[in-house]
Amino acid sequence: MNIHKIIIPTPYPIGDVNSFLVKGDKLSLFDVGPKTQDALDALKRGILEAGYSLEDIEQVVLTHHHPDHAGWVDAFSHADIIGHEYNDHFLRRTPEFMSYRTQFYKEQLQLQAVPEKYLEKIVESKEALRLYGSTPLTRYLQDGEEVPGHPGLKAVYTPGHAQSHFIFLDESTNEVIGGDLLLDKVAANPLVEPPTDFSTNRPKALIQQQESLKLLRELNVAKVYAGHGDEIVEVNTLVDKRLEKDQMRLNQLMKHITSSPKTVIELTMDLYPVHYKTELGLTLSKTLGYLDCLVRDGLVREEIVNGVILYNN
């Protein structure tokens, strides 16, 4: 792949995000950073270093819809904007979608026995939504489809961290542009997001993420150009490390599962006694992800009583 990496600052705890400029039959930019002035400056500088200007970019391709990756779609009004269909809901943010999304999280909090006053801690505020771009996609990609202008570069649907998540596999070099599927320093969070079918069924994000990581392992790739941090070459070793860490957390959570039923918020407080106060949404997502795995493995029983999910052994 003829690829040029651009490192972009973000206001998020994760730190810098990477954008990749790829020259094929078309000139494409994979991910575009959050919608801040610093990020735009870095993007322009990076594109210039590669010998191009912003106007030369013919396509913007998104790995997923999160604002640190999809903010500056707005800077490429003449380019095609390409990605999974789900991105579009977060770029368009129609009143219908936004109220569906709020309703979805309200129902989830109820099931998890979290008081509704914490809703705004969990659902992004209007302020946070400003760092999202608002230019809709011009073209949807399907799982397995080639990126236009890049023969042999295929989109692979890899949900978990985001319901819109694609990695892009270059079949000739066996390298991938990996978004946030696998990062060198941290495990990407299995965030709870509304499903792609607009139902009330919560996607089991950690199970999806584990399946996506196993899929990556099967591809036996030589290199991952990750959404944050350095490129990864010992790919399968790192995949195994991430899966082992999950297993360790599952074992820890098992110690808190007793014969008396507990709610998701109770188990979150058990597993993250300090952290849950400052990172409620994140710790709930993680606990819920581990619970989904334990239920899948038949180690924990789950039942809904009076609109609340309870877990016991």
User: What residues make contact with Zn ion under the rule CB under 5 A?
Assistant: 68, 180, 227
Nearest to Zn ion of 83, 227 (CB atom): 227
Closest CA to 181 of 141, 137, 213: 213
Give the nearest distance from C-beta 11 to Zn ion in angstroms.
13
Nearest to Zn ion of 24, 227 (CB atom): 227
Give the nearest distance from C-beta 284 to Zn ion in angstroms.
19
Nearest to Zn ion of 180, 292 (CB atom): 180
Closest CA to 137 of 79, 94, 177: 79
Give the nearest distance from C-beta 10 to Zn ion in angstroms.
8
Which two structure tokens, joined as six digits, stand for 220? Answer: 């036996």
Distance CA 229, CA 235 (A): 14
Give the nearest distance from C-beta 187 to Zn ion in angstroms.
12
Give the nearest distance from C-beta 16 to Zn ion in angstroms.
10
Nearest to Zn ion of 14, 280 (CB atom): 14
Give the nearest distance from C-beta 120 to Zn ion in angstroms.
22
Q: From the CB of residue 226, how many other CB atoms can be counted at a distance below 10 Å?
A: 26
Nearest to Zn ion of 24, 67 (CB atom): 67
Q: From the CB of residue 125, how many other CB atoms can be counted at a distance below 10 Å?
A: 9
* C-alpha dihedral sign at 91, 162, 80, 50: positive
Query: If DSSP codes are grouped into helix, strand and coil, which group holds residue 303?
Result: strand
Give the nearest distance from C-beta 69 to Zn ion in angstroms.
5
Residue keyed to tokens 């006053």? 117
Closest CA to 104 of 201, 209, 191: 201
- On the 0-12 / 13-18 / 19+ scale of CB atoms within 10 A, 126 is exposed
- On the 0-12 / 13-18 / 19+ scale of CB atoms within 10 A, 13 is exposed
Asked if 209 and 257 touch (Cβ cutoff 8 Å), the reply is no
Residue nearest to Zn ion (CB): 180
Nearest to Zn ion of 59, 164 (CB atom): 164
Nearest to Zn ion of 148, 178 (CB atom): 178
